[in-house]
Amino acid sequence: MTSNHVAIFDTTLRDGEQSPGCSMTTQEKLTMAHALEDLGVDIIEAGFAMASEGDFAAISTITQAIRKPRIASLARAKTEDIEMAARALQFADRARIHVFLASSDLHLEYKLKIGRQEALDRTAESVRLARSLVDDVEFSPEDATRSDREFLIEMVRVAIEAGATTINMPDTVGYTTPEEYGRMFREVRERIPAVNEKGIVLSSHCHDDLGLAVANSLAAIQAGARQVECTINGIGERAGNAALEEIAAALYVRADHYGATSSIKLEQLYPTSQVLGQIITFTPSPNKAIVGANAFAHESGIHQHGMLANPLCYEIMTPSLVGVSRTHLVLGKHSGRAALRHRLEQLGFTLTREELQQTYYRFVALADRKKNIYDQDLIGLLPDKIRERRAVPVSELD
């Protein structure tokens, strides 16, 4: 694996599922896990073994069916959590226990009610225990971006000394900015020699409370992170996690800028998004980047004219790149004559300039009254003499 390869850690089945309306049965998780394997993710966080019998069963089931990605279970820095995670992962070819413990004073004081030294002691003990059970241990200092930097550095150092092989520094509440987040990764690499000496993988995990999850994740990659934690469609706690499809597409489309690669099969992005949408209670917003219904749709007349001349005018990637069948030119009140002519020609009608002009006036009047314009509406705008020129009967429309 090259140094510019970024491992994709998918947490759709764990952090994503914690979002309201996103809970899944074991069978649904297994279906999603197969889709993630086909997509090419490197690690699947299959659940939180200690959270429920259902999570334990789902993790165990997935470990027996999925072979290519590593399978991870989340665990608090507690003996019972870690031992439960190990039992759930016992059938995995490559198991990972993902241990987390809060590092911010806010969380330590109000949530855990412990001091910094006890947090360091728990970090060391829990990572050592996890490492005695599996070869691959990830440690996350929860709320890293709101933590005292000196203490955060010390906690990371303790986790590495105890045997952690991946250090994830989460922006748990979506608080940070790209500049700050990137700086934190660079500082960890510079101040902890063991990161480079032991080949420790640094990981990002971002939430979208300020709409910066993907931007922060990309900033972390630029700063040396070689694992990024994300979810399909960006589902997750509160405003969601960083969206896997956006990160993967950005790394590909802007390879000149990021200089990093992933193993994601881009043509599987849209199909995988659709699988998730069928499992949970909602689909992505229409204007969602990459996989939204409008991601490759154009209504503006200026945009449509440019698209017909050359799709690169208004699309930075082809729909097929991410598994979408085609660009969709939406006919509405913002559309122009070029798009109208194009669609009518697709339907088998070739109009003169004067006929197109007259039809366009009627089309605009209809579009002002009707949100959705269908092919039958367009045909209904045409005079009988034009409809009669069509070689294929109207009844044979798709």
Helix (H) or strand (E) holding 340: helix 337-346
pLDDT by 10-residue block (mean), the chain, 398 residues: 86 96 96 98 98 97 98 98 98 98 98 98 98 98 98 98 98 98 98 97 98 98 98 97 98 97 97 96 93 78 74 83 79 86 87 93 89 83 83 48
* Residue 185, CA atoms < 13 Å, CB-side half-sphere: 30
CA distance 3 to 82: 30
The H-or-E segment that residue 205 falls in is strand 201-206
Report the pLDDT value the prediction gives residue 392, as an integer from 0 to 100: 52
Let me know whether 356 and 246 are in one domain: no
Residues 173 and 303 grouped into a single domain = no
The CATH number for 123's domain is 3.20.20.70
Between the CA atoms of 54, 56, 58 and 60, what dihedral angle is there, to the nearest 10 degrees? -150
Q: 305 and 241, same structural domain?
A: no
The confidence score (pLDDT) of residue 398 equals 45
Question: Is residue 39 included in any domain, yes or no?
Answer: yes
**Range(s) of the domain holding residue 378:** 297-396
In a domain, 1, yes or no: no
Between CA 27 and CA 180, with CA 9 as vertex, the angle to 5 degrees is: 140
Whether 163 and 219 map to the same domain: the answer is yes
Q: Are residues 274 and 304 in the same domain?
A: no
Q: Which one of 246, 279, 312 terminates a domain?
A: 279
Residues 274 and 308 occupy one common structural domain: no
**pLDDT of res. 256:** 97
Position 178 in a domain:
yes
**Backbone dihedral region for residue 21 (phi beyond 0: left; psi -120 to 50: alpha; all else: beta):** left
CB proximity list for 276: less than 8 A, separation 6 or greater: 12, 32, 35, 232, 233, 235
* Residue 292 lies inside a defined structural domain of this protein: no
pLDDT value at residue 275: 96
> Is residue 287 in some structural domain?
no
SS3 387: helix
140, β-bridge pairs:
100
| Within a domain: 286 | no
Q: 307 is written with which tokens?
A: 């698209």
Number of domains in the chain: 2
